[in-house]
Each structure stands twice: as structure tokens, then as C-alpha cells.
């Protein structure tokens, strides 16, 4: 399985680290070109290589993590799997983008015609994405959703290979809505809806808080779910 990553900074590089740690090769692309990726690929070692966006986009599974206003146009996808890890936030400043009534993942899917889109990894900050998913005796959970069952299964296998616990939130129309930020449903779910209850102690919440003060409000509503085995 080959992995491509478009966007090499906070989320892209965290995902690259997690992928390499799992023993898979990865091609990473950004907007500034190969030379700007040298320090990262040197650090990650022989499994990682810098590429153009087109090279990264030709992998079996491609994670896109770029600022919302810079979502890239790319060549034909021909059914390849694209993970939408993006949130509709203009950055900086951190303001919600106008989605005209669509889910952000629907807007994203329109930009990658022919791709099988799986929404995932948009609700984990980089420190949790690159940290040990089994730290503290549990398993960190990236939620995922999508409309193509085979594509979702491939991404679920990748999630497990990275050491996380998979939770499938269903089609994009459901999972994309539940994990959308901002403007996702609040913790108070309506009757018949799934209620997601994060099992996070105050100590974990403090540790999970992103370091940069300007990002605190950005992440406050996210469900950092961490499963623990109970007897
Ligand atoms: N930060 C988080 O905690 C977090 C968590 C979950 C999801 N997200 C979402 O993930 C996405 C990325 O966030 P981030 O924090 O990683 O952003 P970031 O640190 O600003 O990184 C953005 C990356 O996108 C690259 N990029 C921009 N335009 C591009 C283009 N046209 N083609 C290829 N690469 C391009 C940039 O490369 P250059 O530097 O070369 O321009 C940079 O590597 C956003 O949608 C964000 O909402 C972020």
C-alpha cells in the first residue's frame, strides 16, 4: 500500500511520522517544493520521500491536509482513495469558511472528482496523531466516514496499522456532519442521533490541549475519544 500526503506541516507531517512508524512508505508534497521538504524526509528516513503534488496524489491512499482556502486542484483521481483531513477554517485568522449549506467534506469531494473520499483525521490535533495511540492503556480513536465501503475498509485497515482503534461513523452525510468543525452538532444530540461521549479525564484533557494558546478555542469542542478496557 502506498501513501501520499498533500500538505506537510502540522497535520501532514504528523501523519507522515505515524505512517513511517508503521513501516509504510510515504510520499509527501507541499506548495513550496521538494527542497523545502528535505529536513522532514531526512528526519523520517528512507521510507519517506518528497514529491510533487501529482506524485503524492498518485499513491493508493492520499491524505490531503492543507489550509481550507488552498485546497488544491489535482489530476484525475480514477477511483483512488482520498482522505479528507481538512476543516473549513480560514487560517490565519481562524474563521469559519462559508459552505453555502454543504458539508465541508461535500465541498472537498467536489474538488477531487473521481476520488473515493473518506473523511478522517480532521478531529485529531497533531500531537495526538503522532503520539502513541495506545499510551495510557487505551486506544486513541480516529472516527472515519465515507460512501464507498471498500475505500472505508482500506482506510480502516490503515487506521489499525497505525495503532488506532477504528470507529466507522457511516456515510459522509452522517459522519461528515458529526465530525465537522466548526458547525458540527453539539454534544446534546437530538433523539435518534448518536451521542458521542468522550471518556477523557481532566488530566488527559489538560495534556491534550494544544500548546499554542491561539489554538485552544479552535480545539475545545472536539471529541478526543480514548477507549479504555473495562471489566
Ligand atoms: N492543525 C491541526 O491541529 C489540525 C487538526 C485537524 C485537521 N486540521 C486541518 O488540516 C488542514 C491542514 O492543517 P495544518 O494545521 O496542518 O495546516 P498548516 O500547518 O498550515 O499546513 C498546511 C500545509 O499545506 C501545504 N499547502 C498549502 N497549499 C498547498 C497546495 N496548494 N498544494 C500542496 N500543499 C499545500 C502547506 O505547504 P507550504 O508550507 O509549502 O505552503 C503546508 O505544508 C486544515 O484543513 C486544518 O483545518 C488541522
Q: How far is CA 7 from CA 11, 70, 165, 186, in A?
A: 8, 10, 24, 29
Task: Please state the atom number of ligand 1 nearest to the C-alpha of residue 89.
Answer: 47
Choosing from 9, 16, 57, 120 the residue with most ligand 1 atoms within 8 A of its CB, the one to mutate for a pocket test is: 9
- Rounded-to-integer distance, Cα 56 and Cα 54, Å: 5
Which residue in 138, 169, 174 sits closest to 156, CA to CA? 169
Task: Please state the atom number of ligand 1 nearest to the C-alpha of residue 123.
Answer: 6
Task: Please state the atom number of ligand 1 nearest to the C-alpha of residue 12.
Answer: 16
Strands 95-96 and 167-168: unpaired
pTM, to two decimals: 0.86
- The architecture CATH gives domain 3-228: 3-Layer(aba) Sandwich (3.40)
**Residue 139: enclosing H or E segment and its boundaries?**
strand 138-140
In this structure, the residue with its CA closest to atom 27 of ligand 1 is 66
Residue 128: per-residue pLDDT: 95
- Can you give the pLDDT of all 231 residues of the chain as single tens digits? 899 999 999 999 999 999 999 999 999 999 999 999 999 999 999 999 999 999 999 999 999 999 999 988 888 899 999 999 999 998 777 889 999 999 999 999 999 999 999 999 999 999 999 999 998 889 999 999 999 999 999 999 999 999 999 999 999 999 999 999 886 544 444 433 344 444 445 555 555 454 444 444 444 445 556 666 554
CA 114 to chain CA centroid, Å, is 20
- Rounded-to-integer distance, Cα 28 and Cα 53, Å: 8
Q: Where are the domains positioned within the chain?
A: 3-228
Residue 229: per-residue pLDDT: 57
- Rounded-to-integer distance, Cα 194 and Cα 1, Å: 33
Residue 221: per-residue pLDDT: 46
Choosing from 10, 86, 90, 221 the residue with most ligand 1 atoms within 8 A of its CB, the one to mutate for a pocket test is: 10
Strands 89-90 and 95-96: antiparallel
Residues in contact with ligand 1 by the CB-under-6-Å rule are: 6-12, 29-32, 36, 53, 65-68, 70, 72, 85-87, 89, 122, 125-126
Residue 91 Cα to ligand 1 middle (Å): 9
Q: What is the DSSP string of 65-111?
A: ---GGGPPP-S--TT-EEEE----EETTTTEEPP-TTS-HHHHHHHH
Which residue in 213, 210, 223, 160 sits closest to 11, CA to CA? 210
Amino acid at each position: 500500500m502506498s501513501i501520499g500526503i498533500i500538505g506537510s506541516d502540522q497535520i501532514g507531517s504528523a501523519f507522515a511520522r505515524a505512517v513511517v512508524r508503521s513501516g509504510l512508505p510515504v510520499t509527501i508534497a507541499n506548495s513550496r517544493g521538494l527542497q523545502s521538504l528535505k529536513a522532514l524526509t531526512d528526519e523520517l528516513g528512507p521510507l519517506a520521500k518528497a514529491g510533487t503534488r501529482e506524485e503524492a496524489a498518485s499513491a493508493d491512499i492520499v491524505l490531503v491536509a492543507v489550509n481550507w482556502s488552498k485546497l488544491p486542484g489535482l489530476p484525475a483521481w480514477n477511483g483512488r482513495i482520498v482522505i479528507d483531513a481538512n476543516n473549513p477554517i480560514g487560517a490565519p485568522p481562524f474563521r469559519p469558511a462559508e459552505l453555502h449549506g454543504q458539508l465541508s467534506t461535500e465541498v472537498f469531494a467536489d474538488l477531487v472528482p473521481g476520488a473515493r473520499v473518506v473523511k478522517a483525521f480532521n478531529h485529531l490535533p497533531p500531537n495526538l496523531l503522532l503520539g502513541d495511540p495506545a499510551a495510557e492503556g487505551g486506544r486513541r480513536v480516529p472516527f472515519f466516514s465515507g460512501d464507498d465501503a471498500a475505500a472505508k475498509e482500506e482506510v480502516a485497515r490503515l487506521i489499525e496499522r497505525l495503532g488506532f482503534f477504528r470507529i466507522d461513523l457511516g456515510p459522509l452525510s452522517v459522519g461528515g456532519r458529526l465530525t465537522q468543525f466548526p458547525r458540527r452538532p453539539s454534544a446534546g444530540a437530538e433523539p435518534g442521533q448518536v451521542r458521542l461521549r468522550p471518556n477523557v479525564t481532566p488530566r488527559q484533557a489538560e495534556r491534550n490541549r494544544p500548546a499554542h494558546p491561539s489554538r485552544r478555542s479552535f480545539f475545545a469542542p472536539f471529541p478526543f475519544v480514548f477507549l479504555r478496557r473495562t471489566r
